[in-house]
Structure 1
Amino acid sequence: MPDFTTIDSFYERIQQPLQLLLGEAGHFNMFRIEDVLSPDHKQANYSRRNFFKISLITGKNRIFYADKTFDIQGTSLVFTNPMMPYLWERVTEEQTGYICIFTEAFLSQMGDIKAFPVFQHTELGVLMLSETDALFFRQLFLRMEEELAGSYSYKYDLIRNLLMEVIHGAQKRHPTEASATTQSNANERITAIFLELLERQFPIDLSNQVIQISTPSGFAQQLNIHVNHLNKALKEQTGQTTIQHINERILQEAKILLKTTDWTINEIAWSLAFQEPNHFSAFFKKRTGITPKAFRVD
């Protein structure tokens, strides 16, 4: 199953201390790629992060998303968002460039970062750069590196502007040479990630905990694929549709909560993302033949 990489675990992996930004919202940092690559060339796990990452990298690599694989070489600019699981495979040993990581809060004053196309669509998030474009973006990263090391009181405001210039500069360019392919095991990857995202929402331990994704379209959005594509992949791999998987897991959790907690029916319904308790009761009775209340006392 895919892992979840937090900022803390990222810093542990590169063996560097996590430094908080005094007086600043969120987190930002950047590194030279050659300083953070693992020396044993160990392949990273297929995972998602709780932070955004922009990589300017020179070398040959392969990046796997749920339904696409990008073979990239030369100098490339890669954007990854927290909710999109991916695996980055280093093909050649020699790699140079920069990685900058930041949280959504760091750029919150600049707008909804998740809405930018380079973070929404995988086909726009991987760009092969010409020599001229590579020089342009390299200079922006160098300036961010210089400002980060400096003592200017408003350096993070300046870095935000430079970061936005990277984002907008990338969106003005089209991905020309990055080759995206759909691999034969794409449906297996889609299925594995869907099941991991579904299961990650459980168990529900607190009455104020609410599952965040409860519809096929919600899961498809997280995977950045069409809901029909998700349904086809799951049907092929498991014999069940997206909604069947979701309903089965919600029903399983509902039975556990009814038998092991003293929460009210309303609280359980709310935790399972039902807006109205009667909708939950109808859902439960349709699949079990009895009401939630009857199941609890049975």
Structure 2
Amino acid sequence: MPAKQSIAEYYQQYGRERPAASQFTVYRMEDVATPDSFPHVRRDFYKIKLLCNAQGMLSYADRSVAVQQCALIFVNPLIPYAWERKAGRETGFSCLFTEEFITQQLKTASVADSPLFRVGGTPVVFPPPEAMPRLNWLFEQLLAEMQSSYANKYDLLRNYVQLLIHEAIRLAPAAAAGSSRTAAVRLSEQFLELLDRQFPLASPLHTLPLKNANEFARQLAVHTNHLNKALKETTGKTTTEHIAHKLVAEAQALLRQSNWSIAEIGYCLGFEHAPNFNSFFKKHTGQPPNQYRKQPVLLS
């Protein structure tokens, strides 16, 4: 199984100090020392990169793409990818953001079908020269906004990210539509859409209708092993791992943003007994939920 790189490990790899509020960051590629290659791993964050002046091979899932010109590249936590530089010195921009940065508003119907969010999509777009000024301008706006003191800057950053995604859809409509949707890709997309529709939880009285791999497989009218095999093939993660990832993300949001008790949060997420929820949360985050809730939220 491919390794998984956290956002903290990414900052360490490039010798960069992780900012206090690290749900979003953006930088110029020429400002960092990039390695000639990095291994085939999944990340626990999203990335949009405008890569220029370097040639190499980009591998993702079970496919490879030769990069010979400027490329707009999308990376999401579902798909492992690797890069091997053959020539040139990388220039351009890169922005990283976590699941915390993603909102339902960002995942509108059209954007959700983009290379950034889709399993089986084509996450590489080769912009023509006439598109480069606008793409460069959008990244420059991201850089400028990250340095601002505007109270709602993260909302504005999401708007610029959404514009970048729309540019990719406009530049490569065939790729965005997906021309090689295998049965495994279709099943994976159906599962991920079904999983995503369960969140966010709106009330302590609202419990998850589907809580485990068997229940999801039954809803999709497939065998549990078949669903698991399709997800492993397309995303590198099991059904249980996908469910756990969403449960942890929702638990973190509720601990920070609601006044629900820990027992109520656990029960809504499918844990009848609070100790089981506590153990699950600590296993995946390294700390118990009461400790996570007490931590201050850092904003830049």
Both proteins in one fold, TM over 0.5: yes
Equivalences for 1:150-229 in 2 at 5 Å?
150-174=148-172, 215-221=225-231, 223-224=233-234
Aligned partner (choices 63, 66, 80) of residue 75 of structure 2: 80
- Do the aligned residues in 1 keep the contact of 2:106 with 2:162 (CA within 8 Å)? no
Alignment correspondent of 1:29: 25
- Tell me the residue number matched to 1:118: 115
Shift of 1:37: 3.2
| Partner deviation per Cα, 1:24-52 (whole Å, 9 max, x = no partner) | xx7000121122333xx442111000001
* TM-aligned CA deviation for residue 223 of structure 1: 4.0
Gaps of 5+ in 1: 178-208, 231-241, 243-269, 272-298
How many angstroms does 1:221 deviate by? 3.6
The aligned counterpart of 1:8 is 8
CA spacing shift, 1:224–1:135, aligned 2, 3 Å: farther
Paired with 1:36 and 1:122, the residues of 2 have a C-alpha distance of 30
Q: Once the two structures are aligned, what percentage of the paired residues are identical?
A: 29
1:106 aligns with 2:101: yes
| Shift, 1:175, TM fit | 7.0
The one of 42, 58, 65 equivalent to 1:48 is 42
Note closer, same or farther for the CA distance 1:125–1:46 as it changes in structure 2 (3 Å cut): same
Q: Conserved in 2, the CA contact under 8 Å of 1:57 and 1:76?
A: yes
Aligned residues: 193
The 2-side partners of 1:135 and 1:176 are apart by: 23
CA distance in 1, matches of 2:107, 2:173: 23
CA distance 1:143–1:171, change in 2 (3 Å): same
Q: Distance in 2 between matches of 1:168 and 1:82?
A: 20
> Tell me, which stretches of 5 or more residues in structure 2 are unaligned?
176-210, 217-223, 239-269, 272-300
Q: Tell me which amino acid in the other structure corresponds to 2:138.
A: L
SS of the residue corresponding to residue 62 of structure 1 reads strand
* CA apart distance, 1:174: 1.3
Change (3 A) 1:144 1:82: same
Mapped to 2, the partners of 1:90 and 1:221 lie a distance apart of 29
2:103 is paired with a residue whose SS is helix
Letter in 2 for 1:98: F
**RMSD value over aligned CA atoms?**
3.3
Cα offset for 1:111? 4.3
Partner of 1:199: none
Shift of 1:219: 4.0
Structure of greater Rg: 1
- 1:176 to partner: Cα distance: 8.3
CA contact (8 A) 2:5 2:44 kept: yes
1:210 Cα offset (Å): 7.2
Alignment check: 8 A CA contact 1:79 1:126 kept:
yes
Give, in angstroms, the shift of residue 149 of structure 1: 1.4
Q: What is the TM-score with the length of structure 1 in the denominator? A: 0.57
SS at 1:167 equivalent: helix
TM-superposed deviation, 1:147? 0.8
CA separation of 1:30 and 1:215: change in aligned 2, threshold 3 A: farther
Task: Show the counterpart of 1:64.
Answer: 59
1:123, distance to aligned residue in structure 2 (A): 4.6
Matches of 1:175 and 1:33 in 2, distance apart?
Answer: 27
Q: Does the 8 Å CA contact 2:47/2:96 hold for their aligned counterparts?
A: yes
With the length of structure 2 as denominator, give the TM-score of the two structures.
Answer: 0.56
Q: Which amino acid aligns with 2:89?
A: E
**Equivalent residue of 1:46, what SS?**
strand
